[in-house]
């Protein structure tokens, strides 16, 4: 009887595994779209200046960082029939990336991409995926470099040939453009409506090795698997007034806590430059009670960027689970919503 039971149990496990495998494809295809990449409205000139990036989808990061003058940045995304373009504006008082040396270990970018068919998106690294590094700097000078991540069988054969990066020093940091030809992925044809996996990681240093990492869509798990990448859609155009569906990346949050108690002290919410002309104010509630307007404000900083911030002292309680946030425009039109965990 034991042998019969074991055989039956094995058959049930195998059947369950098969069912899981059959469901994995459709489940992967149903992941929510968390961002957009609009078509470029004019040819992108690779000069590092970001002059042709009108209509871009822009995601801010590190707007609430304690060292924002060395960390705050905005990512921009465009595409055309030939290329994918990634733009970066970064505040950085000491730009540095050791040359020679691994490009990830200083100021620079780790870039992740998955352009496989929808039912394959998020599966292990293989043909149609990319993990690479690029930087605006060689030592302390503006001299962009690119490098494919080594040691990953699924990336074998990929080279940086045809890719291009260009950068410019600015008064408060640098700007960086990256161009990736779609031809690096034979069989992929870009089109409006096509969904791909992507993430952009900002690596920061302070004149030496990497000291900080920040992702737009994921985190460290992206290094191990494309499953962590954000699902984004190629589109012809997008309307910032319809941004609420992408609030997580257009209005990223950062909470500062008091020391030594660790209680919530200040909430910072980044405002995408694409939304800055539309956002009038932020509304924050804790435990169902709205924080009075005088304790929230919009603050301009950096190269014309904006963040919203709210004083939380005295307005949260241990039993409160989350802050409910709304970014409001003219006539209190809801442009973005966030539910931000307090614990």
Report if residue 11 sits inside a domain: no
The pLDDT assigned to 260 comes to 81
Burial 193-203 (b: 16+ CB within 10 A, else e): ebbbbbbbbbb
Report if residue 328 sits inside a domain: yes
Q: Read off the pLDDT of residues 188-234 as tens digits, 9 standing for 90 and up.
A: 999 999 999 999 999 999 999 999 999 999 999 999 999 999 999 99
Asked which of 214, 238, 262 is the last residue of a domain, the reply is: 238
Q: Are residues 160 and 259 in the same domain?
A: no
Q: Are residues 212 and 308 in the same domain?
A: no
Closest by CA position to 203, among listed 58, 96, 48, 76: 96
Q: Read off the pLDDT of residues 30-52 as tens digits, 9 standing for 90 and up.
A: 799 999 999 999 999 999 999 99
Cβ distance 66 to 26 under 8 Å? no
Q: Kindly state the DSSP code that residue 39 receives in the 8-state scheme.
A: B
25 or 163, greater pLDDT = 163
Q: Are residues 173 and 203 in the same domain?
A: yes
Asked which of 193, 217, 238 is the last residue of a domain, the reply is: 238
Count of domains for the chain: 2
- Low-confidence winner among 126-135, 256-265, 302-311 (lowest mean pLDDT): 256-265
Cα distance between residue 58 and residue 88, in whole Å: 9
83, β-bridge pairs: 181
Half-sphere exposure of 234 (CA within 13 A, CB side): 21
Q: Are residues 144 and 289 in the same domain?
A: no
| Confidence at 29, pLDDT banded by 50, 70, 90 | low
254 has pLDDT over 50 = yes
Cβ distance 9 to 17 under 8 Å? no
Closest by CA position to 268, among listed 255, 282, 287, 251: 255
How buried is residue 17: exposed, middle or buried, by Cβ count under 10 Å (0-12/13-18/19+)?
Answer: exposed
Q: pTM for this one?
A: 0.90
Report if residue 218 sits inside a domain: yes
The pLDDT assigned to 12 comes to 32
Task: Give the domain range for residue 320.
Answer: 242-341
Q: Are residues 54 and 152 in the same domain?
A: yes
How buried is residue 14: exposed, middle or buried, by Cβ count under 10 Å (0-12/13-18/19+)?
Answer: exposed
Q: Are residues 59 and 201 in the same domain?
A: yes
The pLDDT assigned to 307 comes to 97
């Amino acid at each position: 009887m034991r042998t019969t039971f074991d055989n039956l149990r094995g058959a049930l496990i195998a059947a369950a595994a098969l069912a899981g495998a059959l469901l994995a494809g459709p489940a992967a295809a149903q992941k929510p779209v968390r961002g957009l990449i609009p078509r470029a409205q004019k040819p992108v000139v690779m000069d590092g200046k970001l002059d042709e990036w009108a209509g871009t989808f822009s995601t801010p990061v590190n707007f609430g960082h304690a060292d924002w003058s060395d960390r705050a940045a905005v990512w921009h995304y465009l595409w055309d029939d030939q290329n994918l373009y990634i733009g970066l504006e970064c505040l950085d008082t000491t730009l540095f990336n050791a040359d020679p040396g691994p490009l990830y270990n200083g100021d620079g970018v780790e870039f992740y991409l998955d352009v496989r068919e929808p039912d394959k998106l998020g599966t292990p690294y293989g043909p149609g995926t990319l993990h690479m590094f690029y930087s605006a700097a060689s030592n302390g000078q503006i001299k962009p470099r690119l490098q494919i991540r080594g040691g990953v069988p699924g990336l074998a054969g990929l080279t940086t040939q045809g890719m291009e990066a260009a950068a410019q020093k600015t008064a408060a940091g640098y700007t960086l453009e990256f161009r990736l030809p779609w031809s690096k992925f034979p069989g992929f044809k870009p089109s409006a409506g096509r969904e791909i996996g992507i993430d952009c990681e900002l690596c920061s240093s302070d004149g030496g090795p990497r000291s900080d990492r920040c992702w737009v869509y994921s985190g460290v798990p992206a290094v191990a698997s494309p499953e962590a990448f954000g699902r984004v859609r190629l589109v012809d155009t997008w309307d910032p007034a319809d941004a609420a569906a992408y609030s997580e990346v257009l209005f990223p949050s950062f909470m500062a806590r008091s020391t030594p108690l660790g209680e919530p002290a200040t909430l910072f919410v980044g405002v995408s430059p694409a939304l800055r002309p539309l956002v009038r104010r932020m509304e924050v509630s804790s435990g169902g009670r709205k924080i009075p307007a005088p304790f929230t404000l919009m603050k301009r900083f950096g190269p014309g960027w904006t963040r919203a911030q709210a004083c939380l002292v005295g307005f949260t309680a241990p039993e409160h689970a989350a802050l409910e946030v709304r970014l409001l425009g003219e006539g209190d039109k809801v442009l973005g919503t966030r539910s931000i965990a307090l614990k």
